[in-house]
Chain A
Amino acid sequence: MVKLQINGKTVEAREGEMLLAVIQRMGIDVPTQCHHEAIEPTGNCRLCMVEITKKNWDGWKKSVTSCLYPVEEGLIVETHNDKLFEIRKTILDLQLARSPHSDYVTKMAAEYGLEKSSYPAEPQGDDCIMCYACTRICDVLGKSAIAPTMRGHEKIIAGPFGEAPPDCIGCLSCAHICPTDHIKWNDKGNTRKIWDKKFKLIKCKKCGKKTITREFADYLIEKRELPSEYFDTCDVCKRKETAEKMGELVIKAREATI
């Protein structure tokens, strides 16, 4: 265990833990955008910045992203002050210029007293805040179908060469994790469309309900070594089937004892 000080309070933390986890456990509200428990931190949004110092640093302070900074013995952390407020506010101000129509961004910016960006709205702005949550969750799933492409202000999240990603299995993880709902998808009839790629949805053999894409099912079957007919029925029907089987077993067992 490591002992450190956060906003004047001494706390204990596990070695290797990141500052942000400790801060959140204490119930302190530090804003984040790109942080998500399911994925590795990358420090894109910079909102979780805190100021750190140590007793022997002679009053010298350093701003670090708490999501990436591992806890250290004797560390003195400050999560809110004028400088940090200014950094967070400017970041949101900049995002407001790029994504003026995003509810997510406008709400966060409003908390810092920003109604309109100090900067001119960007003509090519969209709702993507470049938090990489989508690409990171895709990496976690082992597909890495999409990635940040291009550079600087032109950077976008896309498949290889800007085309429909060949490795995408239409699992929708990216769309669900996206904090600004920027990743669009739709299911029409038996077809799912995402990233300009079309997928066929599996129809439950029993009830006819559409479940997941064929590609996603095949991937899971292969990866988790599931039986090949595993996804032929939907979850509900599968549960029903199990319940029926169990019921039959119970009846049989009862009959046997009588």
Chain B
Amino acid sequence: MKKAILVLAALLAVSAAYAQVTVEFWHAMTGKNGEMVQAICDKFNASQKDFKVVPVYKGSYSDTMNAGIAAFRAGQPPAIIQVYEVGTATMMAAKNAIKPVYQLMAEHGKNWNPKIYIPTITSYYSTSDGRMLSMPFNSSTAVMYYNKDAFRKAGLDPEKPPVTWPEFFQVAEKLKASGMEGGFSTNWISWIQLENFSAWHNLPFGTKSNGFDGLDTQLVYNNPIVIRHLQNIYDLSKKGVFIYGGRENKANPLFTSGRVGMHFESIGGYGNMKANCKFEFGVARLPYYPDVPGAPQNTIIGGASLWVFNGKSAAEYNAVAEFFSFISQPEIQAYWHQNTGYLPITQAAYELTKAQGFYKDNPGPEIAIKQLLNKAPTPNSMGIRFGNFNIIREIEDQVWEDILAGKISVKDGVNKMVTEGNKTLREFEKLYK
């Protein structure tokens, strides 16, 4: 016991001598990704002596956000907090609680150049005139995974995954006919089949540039193309070609256990697929409808970004700015990208990864990056910025289940998603006006 006290005293003396500034970084990363967060912070702490970033795991994304909110209300927020993309508008609107990253970097950063970041990623977390509010951290996008062994068995070319939706549906029927339980499944009906689908076809998801230009945004995705798309999936569900596997990423086992031959999931799930698929699988771009002008456009991201809390000391902000510059370096970004499957946030990190030959053995992540960079983003494909976004996605999940159960028609269902979603948008607007 005495020894422990002595050691503690010595440690305190040492840290006092250095006057090192310590800041906390609350995050929601588990498993391999959690280890990588720790590894990056360790690298940062070893790279210099003035600052120390301490990563603290706070549970799921919503747990972490709630912990941040509670800590802010109690006057003890961490300096950095990881917030998922659906929390973006809530964080943005809490003007008293956050310090925008562009402001932080202007005041405390050294030689910070916002141009190094990939615009399709930073735009998601920027104001409509391009000022970064939070630092993108773990970004992913939606892609199609397909079972190459199953393709061979069904007499299809495993190197030629379907490119358009009509082709895709035909292939799905063939896969089922070849003896699989079903043709395809999808995760995240909201994020993949509605939000990314709309961006990929350059269709507005909401007015006001999908919410970037104001809180008075309205959902407008109840157009004939979206309705046709969901109708196609619904019709195939009746034939058993589409199998519903649940909300969020719950449908993964349908693909990894070989019950369906094609599946939609985030590129962030690439590592998981590699670990769990006992067959050869491929990654392909999302299909598109060739009759829609402008398709394919570019897909949008999901994942989370790092927000900085307001009311910290200048020394703490210096630490955060230094950390943000550090994690933006190509080597660190490439390390993070190659170990987690999340996308690199700078062009330089992508080039570096390419030069290192990483994509030869891992073509999946590059397909995701190319899909994201396919075209310069339009107001329909910069991202989505809605208040109460979680509730909107929940409504979409719920109505989609009612559609599949035959309780409501596809057209009425999509209209219901939009009307109900708009109600919650109006509530958010009322609160922040």
Tell whether A and B belong to one assembly.
no
